[in-house]
Amino acid sequence: MKIFKYGEDSQQYCQLFRPDNKQIVPVLIVIHGGYWKDSHSLDSYATKRIVEYFADKGIAVWNVEYRRMNAFGDNHSAPWPTSLLDVAMAVDYLKTIERSEYLDLENITIVGHSAGGHLATWCASRKNINKESPLYHNDPLKIKHAISISGVVDLRRSEDLGQPEQVTKLLSGNNFQIASRLRDSNPLELLDSKVNYHFLHGTEDEEVSINQLSSIEQNSNILIDRLKGKDHFNFFPGFTSDLRCWNKITDLIQSTLT
């Protein structure tokens, strides 16, 4: 495993896992969740199980850390648009190491859980961000597949969340600012017809309600799996003894990278 810094802050880094050879390999980008707050990290969050599983499966795994909001009180550590810009910078940094690390940037899948599902889906959709936005980039890394697990994919429906105040904290601003920031950071308003999206969500999720998917229509590049009886973390080993959903996720990810 190698560590790469994409910025000067201690939280602006990624872990790269890849085979010990010079074969060009596809890339899996993993974004952890935790309500965009600093109470979790890439080493503590459930998505580390995805990283561990695929670390020796013959692909490159890019495990992203980013600056996150204060868990308590006002958000001084990651004011708008810090977290989103960090994830975008971390993903685009792959261009810098494409040749030295033998990466196939034509074959990229990004996956995230909960708030990480928001960031993953948003990052795959950056091409459609308003050009006047501070989040706009004229040449974002192209992502082929985006997978959201229990994701916060519709920020306008903050009432679906167990902690709706975190959306307000993430966007932080006056009414006019929040309106424009929603437009530029809400995945469902940015979906790219050239990206393949897959949304997986448990019907019994009380932390991020499955109603987050109510405005999405399944079509040729959008697939939706509503998983009966599953809650927010039922997808990961250690949170359930039923590994069918975990197997579904690993099979899905593997299928996108072959």
CATH number at residue 167: 3.40.50.1820
How do residues 4-54 score in pLDDT, each as one tens digit?
Answer: 999 999 999 999 999 999 999 999 999 999 999 999 999 999 999 999 999
Contact 153, 213 (CB under 8 A): yes
Q: How would DSSP label each residue in 118-157?
A: HHHHHHTTGGGS-TTSTT--SSPPP-SEEEEES----GGG
pTM for the structure as a whole: 0.98
What is the reported pLDDT for 247?
Answer: 96
Say how far apart CA 46 and CA 141 lie, in whole Å.
Answer: 26
**Domain that includes residue 122, residue range:** 2-256
The 3-state DSSP class for residue 179 equals: helix
Separation of alpha carbons 108 and 235, rounded Å: 22
How many separate domains does the chain show?
Answer: 1
pLDDT at 240 (0 to 100): 84
Yes or no: say if 51 and 43 are a contact pair by the CB < 8 Å rule: no
Structure tokens, 59: 């692909």
Instruction: Report which of 140, 137, 156 is spatially closest to residue 95, judged by C-alpha positions.
Output: 140
pLDDT in tens, 77-106: 999 999 999 999 999 999 999 999 999 999
Give the pLDDT confidence of 113-124 residue by residue, as tens digits: 999 999 999 999
Asked if the model's pLDDT at residue 241 lies above 90, the reply is no
Both tokens of residue 153? 């994919």
Token digits of residue 203 = 């019907």
Mean pLDDT of all residues belonging to the chain? 97
Residue environment code for 48-68, b if the CB has 16+ CB neighbours within 10 A, otherwise e: bbbbebbbeeebbbbbbbbbb
Give the tens place of pLDDT for each residue, 203-223.
999 999 999 999 999 999 999
In the chain, where do the E strands start and end?
2-5, 13-17, 25-31, 60-64, 103-113, 145-149, 196-202, 222-227
Among 127, 122, 112, 129, which residue's Cα sits nearest to residue 65? Answer: 112
pLDDT tier for residue 251 given thresholds of 50, 70 and 90: very high
Q: What is the dihedral of CA 65, 68, 72, 76, to 10 degrees?
A: 140
Please say if the pLDDT value at position 257 is more than 90: yes
**Within a 10 A sphere around the Cβ of 101, how many other Cβ atoms?**
18
Torsion 201-203-208-211 (CA) sign: positive
Q: For residues 118 and 105, what is the distance between their CA atoms, to the nearest angstrom?
A: 22
